[in-house]
Structure 1
Amino acid sequence: MANSTYASVISELFHCLSEIVVAHLWQSLMILVLIAAMTHLLKRLSADIKTSLWMHGLVLSILLPVLSSVFIPQSPDLVASSIKFAEIQHDEVSLSIQSQNKQIRAESGLIQGSDVGSIVQNETRVLAYLLVLLLVIMIFGTAKRLVGLVIAWSSTQDLIGGGIRVPTARYLKDYPQLGKTKLLKSYDITSPMVVGYMEPVILFPANLLEDLEAQDIENILYHELGHIKRSDIWFSLLQRLITCLFWWNPLLTIFNKQINLNRELACDEFAARQTGDSSSYAQSLLNSVKVGLEHNPLVHGVSMFNKKKQLFIRIEGILDMENSSHLRGKKLGSLLGLSLVVLTSTVVLQSAPFAKVGLEGSLVEQASHIATDAMNQDDAELLVAAVQANRISVIESLINDGANINTPLFGDGTPLIVAVRKGNLAMVEKLIELGANPNQASRGDGNPLIIAAARNEQDIAELLLRQGAEVDAIVKGDETALINASRRGHLDMVKFLVSNNADVNLGVKVNEMRGSEYRSPYNQASSQKIRDYLVSEGAEAQAAM
Structure 2
Amino acid sequence: MIASAVYVFFLTALWQGAIITAATFAAVRIFRIADASSRANIWSMAFFASVVLPFSIFLPGAGIEISPPGDAQEKEFVTLAAPAAYEFFHTSTSGPRRVIGYHDLIAPVFLLFWIAGALWRTTGLALDAAAMEKMRRESVRLSGAKFGLPENTDIRLHASLSSPIAAGLFRPSIILPAAIFEESCDALRGAVAHEFAHVKRGDLVSNCAEAAVLCLFWWNPSLYFIRNAIAENREMACDDHAVMQTKNTGEYASALVSCAERAMTPGLTTHALATSLGVAGGPSGLGRRLARLADGNYTPQKRTARSRLLLAGAAIAAVTTCAAAAAPRVDVKSFAAASPFARAAPRSHSERLGRELVEAVIDDDIARAENLLANGADIDAVLEGDGTPLIAAVNNDCFGFASWLIANGANVDAYARYDETALISAVRNSDAVMVRLLITAGANVNLTAKTETGKLRSPLGEARRQGRREIAQLLISRGAVQ
Identify the TM-score tier after normalising by the shorter chain. Answer: 0.5 to 0.7
Measured against aligned partners, the alpha-carbon deviations of 1:181-218 in whole angstroms (never above 9, x if no partner) come to 12222111111101122222111111121x21112111
Q: TM-score, normalised by structure 1?
A: 0.61
Q: What residue number does 1:406 align with? A: 423
Q: What residue number does 2:117 align with? A: 141
Measured against aligned partners, the alpha-carbon deviations of 1:97-155 in whole angstroms (never above 9, x if no partner) come to xxxxxxxxxxxxxxxx971744417x39x977754443332222112211112211111
Measured against aligned partners, the alpha-carbon deviations of 1:4-55 in whole angstroms (never above 9, x if no partner) come to xxxxxx3xx3432221111111110001001111223344521111111111
Q: CA deviation at 1:449?
A: 6.1
Identity of aligned residues (%): 19
Measured against aligned partners, the alpha-carbon deviations of 1:432-455 in whole angstroms (never above 9, x if no partner) come to x55445993332532556359xxx
1:260 paired to 2:236: no
Q: CA deviation at 1:468?
A: 3.6
- Which of 298, 312, 322 aligns to 1:347? It is 322
Counterpart CA distance in 1 for 2:157 and 2:171 is 17
1:445 paired to 2:468: yes
* Equivalent residues of 1:272, 1:318 under 8 A apart: no
1:160 paired to 2:136: yes
Which amino acid counterpart does residue 391 of structure 2 have in structure 1?
Q
Give the 3-state SS of the residue equivalent to 2:424 in structure 1.
coil
Q: What residue number does 1:55 align with? A: 44
Counterpart CA distance in 2 for 1:434 and 1:160 is 76
Is the alpha carbon distance of 1:382 and 1:140 closer, same or farther for their aligned partners in structure 2, counting shifts above 3 Å?
closer
Q: What residue number does 2:303 align with? A: 328
Question: Whose relative contact order is higher, 1 or 2, with alpha carbons under 8 Å and at least 6 apart?
Answer: 2
Q: CA deviation at 1:281?
A: 2.7
CA RMSD across the alignment: 4.0
Structure 2 regions of 5+ residues with no counterpart?
Answer: 62-90, 343-381, 415-420, 448-457
- Which of 311, 330, 336 aligns to 2:286? It is 311
* Equivalent residues of 2:147, 2:189 under 8 A apart: yes
Q: TM-score, normalised by structure 2?
A: 0.68
Measured against aligned partners, the alpha-carbon deviations of 1:145-183 in whole angstroms (never above 9, x if no partner) come to 1111221111111211111233444433xxx43x22122
Q: What residue number does 2:183 align with? A: 212
Is the alpha carbon distance of 1:131 and 1:363 closer, same or farther for their aligned partners in structure 2, counting shifts above 3 Å?
closer
Counterpart CA distance in 2 for 1:135 and 1:167 is 50
Give the 3-state SS of the residue equivalent to 1:406 in structure 2.
helix
1:20 paired to 2:5: no
Structure with bigger helix share is 1
Counterpart CA distance in 1 for 2:479 and 2:474 is 16
- Which of 219, 222, 242 aligns to 1:248? It is 219
Counterpart CA distance in 1 for 2:272 and 2:434 is 69
* Equivalent residues of 2:413, 2:422 under 8 A apart: no
Q: What residue number does 1:300 align with? A: 273
Is the alpha carbon distance of 1:320 and 1:38 closer, same or farther for their aligned partners in structure 2, counting shifts above 3 Å?
farther
Counterpart CA distance in 2 for 1:52 and 1:316 is 22
Q: What residue number does 1:70 align with? A: 58
Is the alpha carbon distance of 1:401 and 1:412 closer, same or farther for their aligned partners in structure 2, counting shifts above 3 Å?
closer
Which amino acid counterpart does residue 70 of structure 1 have in structure 2?
F
Q: What residue number does 2:25 align with? A: 36
Counterpart CA distance in 1 for 2:251 and 2:271 is 31
Counterpart CA distance in 2 for 1:405 and 1:290 is 72
Is the alpha carbon distance of 1:161 and 1:334 closer, same or farther for their aligned partners in structure 2, counting shifts above 3 Å?
farther
Which amino acid counterpart does residue 272 of structure 1 have in structure 2?
V
Measured against aligned partners, the alpha-carbon deviations of 1:217-270 in whole angstroms (never above 9, x if no partner) come to 111111111111111111110111011011111222111211111111110011
Give the 3-state SS of the residue equivalent to 1:203 in structure 2.
strand
Is the alpha carbon distance of 1:449 and 1:248 closer, same or farther for their aligned partners in structure 2, counting shifts above 3 Å?
closer
1:115 paired to 2:93: yes
Is the alpha carbon distance of 1:381 and 1:207 closer, same or farther for their aligned partners in structure 2, counting shifts above 3 Å?
closer
Counterpart CA distance in 2 for 1:290 and 1:416 is 75
Structure 1 regions of 5+ residues with no counterpart?
Answer: 1-9, 74-112, 420-426, 453-463, 474-545
Number of aligned residue pairs: 387
Is the alpha carbon distance of 1:261 and 1:395 closer, same or farther for their aligned partners in structure 2, counting shifts above 3 Å?
same
